[in-house]
Structure 1
């Protein structure tokens, strides 16, 4: 494992931690969980999380990357582009060019960089059509990682996340257990020894929903989560409007997580 003294997390809702609620009404998420793991093993460790829900890739690059460079952390995790790929007609090739510029800037600042592929959407209704765009984007990210010597967390290959219990009710954000498993996977990529296995099988479901019940759930999900998301996009609004980063400074994390 790297001897880490500082870590900055960049991204959107995935890295902010939705939907992994904390007792105070904020979100925990895989990045906070990872920081707690590192802090328990590394004296003097400090952590900042600049991620904000709803951010597009260019916004992350413009608003968060310069702050991360100024903080000069040893480690940066960088995940972005998922919200862009949800927009009809988005171009994964153009997105990858923006992503690479940001990675080059972070590496030039001396940061170790961990990047993330996109999730495999094959088991999510309405998002299944995005699968080919995500796959193209992922191919670019692997190439970027190779060129700039970045570590990669391959979310696409994490079949354990295909279980619906890994996702919150909106099916767009991980559940608390999904975040916990991603944190363990990132720890593994960093070489951090942990006692738990991110790939441990899920316990059997007590009752499997029949086809008709599942279709009713799908329609309810589309009405309550997908339609409002589309409406926000048409109005040019974001879930992150008016929200500040939950942890904008490098601070110790002792006692957290």
Structure 2
């Protein structure tokens, strides 16, 4: 594989969406209150990347949605290190009071940072979070975790993530949530994708995640007749 990452910029990256194309994709988007809850993935934590704006994926999505609805309200309470239970206890109530009609949930990764993750408890917590979120009436959307990370402390971490991703897909499907699947996304193979912590996507990855969220949202919009 040829390393062309250093030559890419946000304008030339084929995995990104130019602002005009993104706005066109979301023409007619109905959402006016966009909320995001969860952990550092929700928050969009990541280092800068040369040639890319240092913006979290959520801010990028909100900027595009504002082209359809200039008065869009955006709230992101994503917190580094938050577990699912902490998201429920510390973020869910405030987000529901915000009254989102589009709500992104990303958490579960921090529940894997244990000697032996309790997947039964993780599943129960996820179900409670999604059930509560679905009660808002908002369209729900989430990510699966990517596989580019490097966690020497836990050699079986990819196995853990695959299992978590399976739970996310299952629970999301039960609540008709959109799933943006980053596990097998081609961006995972790019050199320079990860931040210095070897966990979080840098700004280039944030731009790609935003593009994938926008593409997913476009699938639920009415299609124009030819």
Category of TM-score, reference length = shorter chain: 0.7 to 0.9
1:106 aligns with 2:144: no
How far apart in 2 are the matches of 1:62 and 1:28?
A: 27
8 Å contact kept, 1:7–1:47: yes
| Partner residue, 2:178 | 151
1:115 aligns with 2:142: yes
Return 5+ residue gaps in structure 2 as ranges.
1-25, 49-53, 220-226
Q: CA deviation at 1:97?
A: 1.3
8 Å contact kept, 1:11–1:51: yes
Runs of 4+ displaced beyond 6 Å: none
Higher helix share: 1
**Alignment length, in residue pairs?**
187
How far apart in 2 are the matches of 1:66 and 1:41?
A: 28
| Partner residue, 2:88 | 61
Q: CA deviation at 1:128?
A: 4.5
Match of 1:138 among 155, 165, 176: 165
8 Å contact kept, 1:6–1:47: yes
TM score, norm. by length of structure 1: 0.68
| CA displacement 1:182-233 (0-9 Å, x = unmatched) | 01011111018xxxxxxxxxxxxxxxxxxxxxxxxxxxxxxxxxxxxxxxxx
8 Å contact kept, 1:93–1:136: no
How far apart in 1 are the matches of 2:43 and 2:168?
A: 21
8 Å contact kept, 2:169–2:179: yes
TM score, norm. by length of structure 2: 0.76
8 Å contact kept, 1:116–1:153: yes
8 Å contact kept, 1:20–1:29: no
Bigger Rg, which one: 1
1:87 aligns with 2:125: no
1:179 aligns with 2:171: no
CA root-mean-square deviation: 2.0
